[in-house]
Amino acid sequence: MSLKAILFDFDGTLVDSEALHYHSWLRVLAPFGVEYSELAFCDEFSGVPTLKTAEILLERHKLSSTAQALCDDKNRFFVDTAATMQPKLMPYAREILNYASAHCKLALVTGSTRAEAIPVLNHYGLQHFFDCIVTKDDVTQPKPHPEPYQQALSALQVEPENAVALEDSTTGLSSGSAAGLKVLVIPNEHSAKQDFSQAAWQVQSLRSAQAVIDELLALG
């Protein structure tokens, strides 16, 4: 393949934001008297779209609300939480972006809202690496639907056979694969038990992912 673009997931791939999502959901669930440990919540819901998480919680705990209302509250609380508690970058995140941007077009394809993602990118000075940013606000069908990746490919003017996606969850893997992309998966501690059998590659770190990218560039 001739590698022309690399499309990065955000949460769990470039930033370790699970704790922020967990604390935001705790605030949503508190008025209903529902609690989860961080480990149990993140292990179950890592990579699950916000609305789908809301639907599961609504049904499981018979909450007197709607899934959309829970989703909206969570998104609002996340912005508040992120204002005082910045997520950490995943190890080697800045290095792989710097390396990849010197060789390819880059896109960020995230299930987060723009209000959630952009402040984190600005905080770490990462936004300039990306030629295209697709958030949940920009699509009608978020991951695992292929629309987010299809939109990014269109914006970059790159065919899927000339690009790869980096993901950490089966939700993102399904989205990228359905868009015709080969997906390189880097599981994190919460997604490690998910089924990644459909991935083109699976590695344990972003540093190892860079080695795969290097091999693909050499083929081109």
Kindly indicate the confidence band of residue 189, based on its pLDDT and cuts at 50, 70 and 90: confident
CA distance 106 to 156: 8
Q: What is the pLDDT of residues 116-148, one digit of tens each?
A: 899 899 999 999 999 999 999 999 999 999 999
Give the pLDDT of residue 1.
Answer: 74
Give the pLDDT of residue 149.
Answer: 98
Pairing between β-strand 15-16 and β-strand 88-89 as defined by DSSP bridges: antiparallel
User: When comparing pLDDT for 193 and 107, which is higher?
Assistant: 107
CA distance 151 to 135: 10
DSSP tag of 200: S
Q: Which amino acid is at 108?
A: L
pLDDT > 80? residue 107: yes
Residue 87 preceded by cis peptide, ω within 30: no
Q: What percent of the chain has pLDDT over 70?
A: 100
Q: Tell me the average pLDDT of the chain.
A: 94
Mean pLDDT of 65-71: 96
Instruction: Give the list of residues 6+ apart from residue 79 with CB closer than 8 angstroms, or none.
Output: 115, 116, 119
Q: What percent of the chain has pLDDT over 90?
A: 81
CA distance 40 to 152: 33
Nearest to 201 by CA among 178, 215, 185: 185
Kindly indicate the confidence band of residue 169, based on its pLDDT and cuts at 50, 70 and 90: very high
